[in-house]
Structure 1
């Protein structure tokens, strides 16, 4: 039976804005309060989805969230009609309104952690929505995320869904941005690689000093238990605290893996040699030949990696056994990074081609190609059980581009978030989107 890695890309929401909400994310903070272009952002993301589909990769769509989140504002003491709640928040606590309008759900690498059926004890694909409790604007996402994933992967014979972990610092969970799976074939058992920034209870693990470590060891271990993963199929590794303090807020900013290959920076991890040996040994038990490409700091600094998002790229397996690397335009603009990539693809290594995409709207807010997609390994039967409305096709692409053109604004400044009309625009757009993607009622305004 054939198996596939399906990339489900996040559709950018109508309230895409540069709120500078993510402390530790250099791009997010440096572009704070600039005007954004939600329409351009959504179209850039759709263009990438279409391109990958046309290259023969399985591609899906993950819907955005309802914003502003009026229910969240009500829980913080604002009252009255929806319009009154928004106006009160704008007047009394603008930072809370900005947070409630965040479109950061577009970065669906943080939506959940996914384990394929070949790895799990019950032979189902398991999803655990990430609690994202390190940042308030993202901590309010998981209830809707769970409903959307449930509507996409509804067949309980094939799919299992878990609630987010407890929303406390000890179980900080950032989803697949700190999770990679290595395997010989997508349908065969593999090794799931969990990367954490700190331990909540074990003081032997060093912690960063400037920026928060968002993923805990304990959260990763809990997800592995929930998914029924075997000890032989799991490796835990710690991020280098010093690179977190340089803006590497998730592992997918400093490393990316797929199939039998890990592409990483020299300074990405602690105890790198021990970790690589463990990955090699465990994958070998499943018939795999683990390999790694280490990018030396002498050629690409951590600062270069963070500014270019070299590692926040998509590493895709091609039919001939080689790899394709999808990178943002910022990689080509960085002389050292682009020189390294030219040398990489001219060698006889696994990565043979690099394709560049313009994702400026997402990049300016701190998310590159890898942030925009959630990877789900599925066999043919499981893929057939996925809600067909969310699988990208040429007609769906055309419909979604028309939908964006109809509902999205060309410009959004922070002051525009106080306009109650924006909420109505967002709800109208999302109500139509659920019909396009055949999701049913997944948003609070549709349910309440």
Structure 2
């Protein structure tokens, strides 16, 4: 008999150095807003408001903390020396792009934090976590160490949770985490099908691959994670993302598809071999029938899907049955997408409601509602075993709002990243935050 379980969403709290450096080649929104002035305070408050709205609706909502930025240990590894202020000034003079990478607040997008396999799927019946190496982008490749520390602090009980180090940080094992992974199931506590979506097979030079933009996830990385998590063949399906979609700016699968329960909501151009992918999911799905919702190119052109982040939305169960799609505000600003959503709700299918969330500060850097959260299916025992200090309550929301308002700047430009005061402000804020959340010394500067 399956254990009763819930799906918890762990959102990344936007960090104090949230800025627009345009570091992500292949992410259209990131490049189009390069060097604009950001508002870290507004970004963090928008993220908290999104979390609070979902928590008020009864969803289990957790928080993953931002990381230390600018990351001085990384800059020291690159040969910059002296005091911390000297390191910042030297990096700014030598190569501002390197400083921007070391200062990026990109860990806010926790869909890239890790891949998570629930205990119902794994051989040892524990929840397994593997932090993503994010090797495709320098600014993200430095995240997995602190990500691992945070996850181990939150999910510490080895009777229930298993943690793996990130895969080797090389292109052949490029891993982007849950942004290229979704799970389909009858219920969260039932055995499910984990769908791993990859951009190319690294060791097969004859295999299809994108031409304009790089494929960030490899088949080999997805297969390695499935092995580490103890997934049998009946719990895993490997699907190649359509290379044409990657070249159109669909850098992760969660920009073109999202799944929940037995529903897979996806664009016509999402998968290279759509029929095979659906057939394999159907053959493995237990206790329910797959409900695919296929959005045709004629209804929502791929360009509009990317611009609106229609599929980078959260698909959530409603308490009275059916599902809700939590979309970014941009979905109501693009005519084809807005019309499609109205028709979708009116169709009588499983998606019965659409709610709009304002995450503009994140969207300008290329991340919608789904980028901001890591999904973790937990039984009630596992939920009780995790560290509860990161679960959002009314009291924690109020405390974090005050914390953000007391520590975050209203404006941040690229020139500000070399300001030693920004580093001091960020460290002071994070030191206080780790105490608020009860996570211990997870930052390098605390060690």
Shorter-chain TM-score tier: over 0.9
Partner of 1:153: 155
Q: Secondary structure at the match of 1:198?
A: coil
Q: 1:22, CA displacement in angstroms? A: 0.1
Partner of 1:389: 389
Partner of 2:252: 250
Q: Secondary structure at the match of 1:342?
A: helix
Q: Secondary structure at the match of 2:123?
A: coil
Partner of 2:174: 172
Q: 1:347, CA displacement in angstroms? A: 1.1
Structure 1 runs of 4+ with >4 Å offset:
none
Quote the Cα distance in structure 1 between the aligned partners of 2:333 and 2:319: 30
Quote the Cα distance in structure 2 between the aligned partners of 1:203 and 1:416: 43
Partner of 1:364: 364
Aligned partner (choices 4, 7, 11) of residue 6 of structure 2: 4
Cα deviation 1:92-143 (Å, max 9, x = unaligned): 1111000100000000000000000000000100000000000000000000
Partner of 2:444: 444
Quote the Cα distance in structure 2 between the aligned partners of 1:45 and 1:2: 29
Structure 2 unaligned residues grouped into runs of 5+: none
Q: Secondary structure at the match of 1:184?
A: coil
Quote the Cα distance in structure 2 between the aligned partners of 1:325 and 1:9: 17
The number of residue pairs the alignment matches comes to: 445
Partner of 2:139: 137
Partner of 2:421: 421
Cα deviation 1:135-154 (Å, max 9, x = unaligned): 00000000000001111101
Tell me the TM-score normalised to structure 2 length. Answer: 0.99
Cα deviation 1:247-290 (Å, max 9, x = unaligned): 0000000000010000000011111011111111110xx21211
Does structure 1 residue 120 correspond to structure 2 residue 122? Answer: yes
Note the 1:86-105 alignment, pairs <5 A.
Answer: 86-105=88-107
Does structure 1 residue 45 correspond to structure 2 residue 38? Answer: no
Q: 1:204, CA displacement in angstroms? A: 4.2
Partner of 1:276: 278
Q: Secondary structure at the match of 2:349?
A: coil
Cα-Cα RMSD: 0.6
Cα deviation 1:317-341 (Å, max 9, x = unaligned): 1223301000000000011100000
Cα deviation 1:186-214 (Å, max 9, x = unaligned): 01110000000000112342000000000
Quote the Cα distance in structure 1 between the aligned partners of 2:291 and 2:139: 37
Quote the Cα distance in structure 1 between the aligned partners of 2:276 and 2:192: 19
Structure 1 unaligned residues grouped into runs of 5+: none
Q: Secondary structure at the match of 2:245?
A: helix
Does structure 1 residue 404 correspond to structure 2 residue 404? Answer: yes
Quote the Cα distance in structure 1 between the aligned partners of 2:112 and 2:26: 16
Cα deviation 1:395-426 (Å, max 9, x = unaligned): 00000000000000000000010101111000
Q: Secondary structure at the match of 2:276?
A: helix
Cα deviation 1:334-392 (Å, max 9, x = unaligned): 11100000000011100000000110000000000000000000000000111111001
Partner of 1:430: 430
Quote the Cα distance in structure 1 between the aligned partners of 2:321 and 2:167: 37
Partner of 2:77: 75
Quote the Cα distance in structure 2 between the aligned partners of 1:188 and 1:242: 35
Partner of 1:330: 330
Q: Secondary structure at the match of 1:176?
A: helix
Quote the Cα distance in structure 2 between the aligned partners of 1:204 and 1:223: 24
Quote the Cα distance in structure 2 between the aligned partners of 1:231 and 1:274: 15
Q: Given that residues 280 and 291 in structure 1 are in contact (C-alpha distance below 8 angstroms), is that contact kept between their aligned partners in structure 2?
A: no
Q: Secondary structure at the match of 1:445?
A: helix
